[in-house]
C-alpha cells in the first residue's frame, strides 16, 4: 500500500547552523532563568542538582531540536501543487493546489539575513494557515517565488 512520502528537497544546510544559533540563544536565556531560580528558591542540598538539571535539559534541547528540524523540514513544488513538511515533535505536512495559491511572500529576519537565508510563505484563501518553507538559500527562495508566482498566475479565478 502506498504512503505519503517526504517532499523532495531539503532546506539549506546553513539553516541547521542558523537554528543551532537560534536555539542556543534561547536555551541560554531559559537555562539562566531556571538556574537563577533554582539557586535562589530551590531547597537546600538540592539547588545545585536543580541547576545542573536545567543546564543539561536546555543544552540537550539546543543540540537535538535543530537537527530534528533539519531532518524534517522539506519542500517540493510540482506542476500543480506545493507540498511542505515542517515541525519536529509534532510534524505537519501541507499540500495546496497551485490553482488556490493567493500570495507568495519572501521574508528575511535579521539572523536569516546574516546566514543568507529566507523564508517563503505561500498563502491560500483558507484561514487555517499558510504553507511555510524556512531556511532556503536566498537565490533558491527568489527562484521559487518567481516559479510559484508564474504558475499561480496561469490559473484564472479568485482562488476561493
Partner 1 sequence: MSPVPWQRLDPRMLLVHPIKEVAKFLPVLIGLLVAGGASGTGPWALLGVGIPVGLGVVRYLTTTYRIADGRVELQRGLLQRHTLSTPVDRVRTVDLTASPVHRLLGLATVVIGTGSVVSDSDERLVLDALPREEAARLRTELLLTTVRADAGPLATDDHVEQEQVVARFSPRWLWYAPFSGTALVGLGAILATAAQVNESVQIRFSEEDLAAVDLTFVVGVVLAAIVLVVALAVGGYLVTNGGFVLSRYGAAWHVRRGLLTRRETSIDVARLAGVSVGEPAALRVARGRRVGAIVTGLSGDQSGSAVLLPPAPRGTGYDVAAAVLGTPAPVTAPLLPHGRAATTRRYSRALIGALPLVAAATLAVLAGGPAWLLAGAVAAVGAALALATDRARALGHGYVDGHVVMRSGSVLRSRDAVAAGHVIGWNQRATWFQRRAGLVALAATTAGGKGQVRVPDVPTKAAITLAEAATPGLVGQFLEDR
Contact set with partner 1 (CB under 8 A): 1-5, 7, 76, 78, 80-81, 83, 87, 89-97, 100, 124-129, 131, 158-160
| Closer to partner 1 by Cβ: residue 36 or 71 | 71
- Give the separation between CA 71 and CA 128, rounded to whole angstroms: 25
| Closer to partner 1 by Cβ: residue 13 or 87 | 87
Q: How far is the CB of 33 from partner 1 (least distance, A)?
A: 25
CB 35 within 8 A of CB 47: no
Q: How far is the CB of 160 from partner 1 (least distance, A)?
A: 4
Q: How far is the CB of 148 from partner 1 (least distance, A)?
A: 14
Q: How far is the CB of 95 from partner 1 (least distance, A)?
A: 5
Angstrom distances, CA of residue 120 to CA of 45, 101, 154:
50, 13, 20
| Closer to partner 1 by Cβ: residue 2 or 40 | 2
- Give the separation between CA 145 and CA 69, rounded to whole angstroms: 23
- Give the separation between CA 94 and CA 91, rounded to whole angstroms: 10
Q: Which of 153, 108, 117 is nearest to 135 (CA)?
A: 117
Amino acid at each position: 500500500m502506498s504512503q505519503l512520502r517526504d517532499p523532495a528537497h531539503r532546506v539549506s544546510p546553513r539553516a541547521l547552523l542558523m537554528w543551532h544559533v537560534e536555539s542556543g540563544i534561547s536555551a541560554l536565556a531559559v537555562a539562566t532563568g531556571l538556574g537563577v531560580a533554582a539557586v535562589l528558591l530551590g531547597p537546600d542540598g538540592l539547588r545545585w542538582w536543580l541547576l545542573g538539571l536545567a543546564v543539561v535539559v536546555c543544552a540537550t534541547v539546543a543540540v537535538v531540536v535543530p537537527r530534528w528540524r533539519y531532518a524534517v523540514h522539506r519542500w517540493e513544488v510540482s506542476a500543480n501543487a506545493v507540498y511542505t513538511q515542517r515541525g519536529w515533535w509534532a510534524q505537519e505536512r501541507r499540500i495546496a493546489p497551485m490553482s488556490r495559491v493567493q500570495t507568495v511572500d519572501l521574508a528575511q529576519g535579521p539572523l536569516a539575513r546574516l546566514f543568507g537565508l529566507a523564508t517563503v510563505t505561500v498563502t491560500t484563501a483558507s484561514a487555517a494557515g499558510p504553507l511555510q518553507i524556512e531556511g532556503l538559500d536566498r537565490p533558491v527562495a527568489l527562484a521559487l517565488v518567481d516559479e510559484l508566482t508564474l504558475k499561480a498566475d496561469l490559473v484564472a479565478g479568485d482562488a476561493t
